[in-house]
Amino acid sequence: MSFGPEIRYSKWEMSAAIDEPDEKEVPQRQVSLRNTRQFYSAILSVAGLFIVVWGLILFPKYENPSILLLLLFFAIATQSTMTYLVGGNVSVSVSGAISFAVAGLYGPVAAGMAAAIAELGLWLLSLRLKNRDWYHELERLGVNSGIHGVSIFTAGVVFVFFRQVLGSGNFVLDAIPWFIGAIVGDQVNFWLLSIIIFLANGVKPKEVWRENRWAIPMNVLVMSIGGGLITLAVIQFGLLGLAIFVLPIILSAYSFRVTVNNAKKQMEKLEEMVTLRTQALADANHKLEALHKEKDSFLAVLTHDMRTPLTSIRGYGSILRDRELTRDQQTKIAKVILNSQDTLLEIVNNILELEKLQSGVPILLETSSFDLALLVKNTTESLETQALEKNITLNYDQIPSPIIVKADMSKIRRVILNLISNALKYTPESGLVSVKTEVNGRYAIFVVEDNGYGIPADELPTIFDRYSRVKGHRHLAIGTGLGLAIVKSLIEAHNGEISVQSEENVGSTFTFKLPIN
């Protein structure tokens, strides 16, 4: 399909031309340009109207007016299939070829009339009655009708002149007037339009030329070859030639319009997908940055927390190696070393557990039926020494009533051990820690309560997050901030729940419950 690119005034309107601001609110130069534009628009509109009226006056004198009517109809039809390419400033249309063909059949005035009427038809088809600025709608119609009417009229005049000068007789002599007329018509169209673009937008003609110069050869070829062939078809075959030659062009133009519009929709979808993917990538980058910060913070904490027990082990190990000590001194030093070793082991276990959680692999449970109350008693007893070192009273049920649950006993023991150890760590000397188990409906309940330092209200919502440690408590005990996150994961893996209630300088109560099968 032949097609002719063209730029149009409707795509170049500027805000000043639309909003018409008060003259006091805009610079004098803009007021001057606006007034000049309005005057220039009026001249174009009058020129287009004059050509249309002139053509209508001559209409009865034309030979075969039915063919002219069909050409006018086809000009409107092809103009209605005009397609704006991506970017919106350049459109594709074949109406120029039909209007130029009218020049070869009926002369320049009829050709200009066809071009102007085609613009009127397009304007009516694209008009939306609601919320329209009629002043600017009419201005747009007048400008486009005037530009295309004058440019095709001028092309027709040049075509007729060169055809009379060169005569006819061979293919080359017949083709030259068409090409020269098309070139002149294209350039008249361009410069008339460049002026209105400059007055409306302040865009210099050379910038418009640079952006759209690629369209000139195509437009010239479409006007000259298309116009010549349509004229030849009508001369040779009359109405039949017009139908055979023009209808496929109109159908092809419509098909092209549909294809381009579908391509635009696909591009819009692609742009939307790109936007979504870009946003997702940005979110992923933010998350990655947050993870890097968490990692750096974790490594800093880990380095600090591991250094303390390692220093103790090294120091007391050196004392055992280099000095003669009594049995009691050896026992005390061995206890410190073992406590430091337990601290290191807890850190390592937490790191290994974190690695499993981050890998996304579900926690594997080796379930069995056991007495939760007895497990709590035995685990609490193992921590009595830690309580005695700080003179903390550790209360628990010495003869508990059996509470049978089906769970992974080693993991539940780890949860209990972590919660009671935390209570002892963050309770001052001579404090109180109470541990109890009970049954409430379908759940076994474990509660550890202390009268320790407590957790500030603003830090409670994140207490079970990875690397989360109460800021004011970091100097009180070594830790990685992973223990409670792991505890929560283990309880939830058992379809249980864990919660905390705390008040700063009053104490904390951690509770978890497990379903009784």
What is the per-residue DSSP string for 207-255? HHHHHHTTHHHHHHHIIIIIHHHHHHHHHHHTHHHHHHHHHHHHHHHHH
63 DSSP 8-state letter: S
Please tell me whether the overall predicted TM-score, pTM, comes out greater than 0.85 for this model: no
Helix 134-166 × helix 95-106 angle, to 10° = 50
CA angle, 493 then 496 then 502, to 5°: 115
Q: What is the 3-state secondary structure (H, E, C) of 159-171?
A: HHHHHHHHCCCCH
pLDDT string in tens for the chain (517-residue length): 333 434 444 333 333 333 344 444 456 777 777 888 888 888 998 998 999 999 999 988 888 888 888 888 877 777 766 655 544 445 556 677 888 888 888 999 998 898 888 888 777 766 665 556 677 778 878 888 888 899 999 999 999 999 888 877 677 778 899 999 989 988 898 888 888 888 877 788 888 777 777 777 877 887 888 888 888 888 888 777 777 767 666 666 666 566 656 666 777 777 788 888 888 888 888 877 776 776 666 666 566 566 667 777 888 888 888 888 888 888 888 887 887 777 777 767 766 766 666 656 667 788 999 999 999 999 898 888 888 888 999 999 988 899 999 999 988 988 998 899 889 888 989 999 999 999 998 999 999 999 988 888 888 888 887 766 665 555 455 555 677 888 888 898 899 999 999 988 889 999 999 998 7
Give the Cα separation of 340 and 309 in Å (integer): 5
Neighbour count for residue 442 (Cβ, 10 Å): 10
* Encoded tokens for 474: 């970091």
Q: What is the DSSP string of 415-440?
A: HHHHHHHHHHHTS-TT-EEEEEEEEE
Burial degree of 153 (CB within 10 A; 0-12, 13-18, 19+): buried
Q: Which two tokens stand for residue 424?
A: 């002892």
CB atoms within 10 A of CB 499: 11
Q: How many helices (H) and strands (E) does the chain have?
A: 16, 10
Report the Cα–Cα distance between both ends of the chain, in Å, rounded: 77
| Residue 227 amino acid letter | G
Going by the DSSP 8-state scheme, the letter that residue 352 receives in this structure is H
* Cα 266 from Cα 260, distance rounded (Å): 10
Please list, in sequence order, all residues whose beta carbon lies within 8 angstroms of the beta carbon of residue 128, skipping any fewer than 6 positions away. Answer: none
Alpha carbons 470 and 488: distance in angstroms, whole number: 17
d(CA 229, CA 174): 11
Query: Could you give the CA distance from residue 142 to residue 178 in angstroms, rounded to a whole number?
Result: 27
Which of 174, 317, 302 is closest to 232 using CA atoms? 174
Q: In whole angstroms, give the CA distance from residue 311 to residue 337.
A: 10
Bridge-based pairing state of the strands 83-84 and 90-93: antiparallel
DSSP 61: G
Q: How far is CA 258 from the centre of its chain?
A: 27
Asked if residue 96 lies in contact with residue 152, where contact means CB atoms within 8 angstroms, the answer is: yes
Q: Is 445 helix (H, G, I), strand (E, B) or coil?
A: strand
pLDDT of residue 13: 34
Rg over alpha carbons for the chain, rounded to the nearest Å, is 44
DSSP 452-480: SS---GGGGGGTTSTT---GGGTTTS---
Question: Which residue(s) pair with 500 in the sheet?
Answer: 510
Please tell me the predicted confidence (pLDDT) of residue 505: 85
Helices (H), 59-129: 65-80, 95-106, 108-126
Q: What is the dihedral of CA 298, 302, 304, 309, to 10 degrees?
A: 160
Strand partners, 84: 91
Q: What is the pLDDT of residue 67?
A: 83
Cβ(517)–Cβ(405) below 8 Å: yes
Q: How far is CA 474 from the centre of its chain?
A: 42
Helix axes 372-381, 409-425, angle to 10 degrees: 40
64 close to 166: Cβ distance less than 8 angstroms: no
Tokens of 199: 């007055």
Count of alpha carbons within 13 angstroms of residue 213, beta-carbon side: 5
Q: Which amino acid is at 162?
A: F
Look up residue 76 and give its amino acid. Answer: I
- Rounded Cα distance between 448 and 500, Å, is 10
What's the confidence (pLDDT) of residue 249?
A: 66
Q: Nearest 10 degrees: CA dihedral of 436, 441, 443, 444?
A: 30
Which among 470, 475, 436, 474 is positioned nearest to 454, based on CA atoms? 470
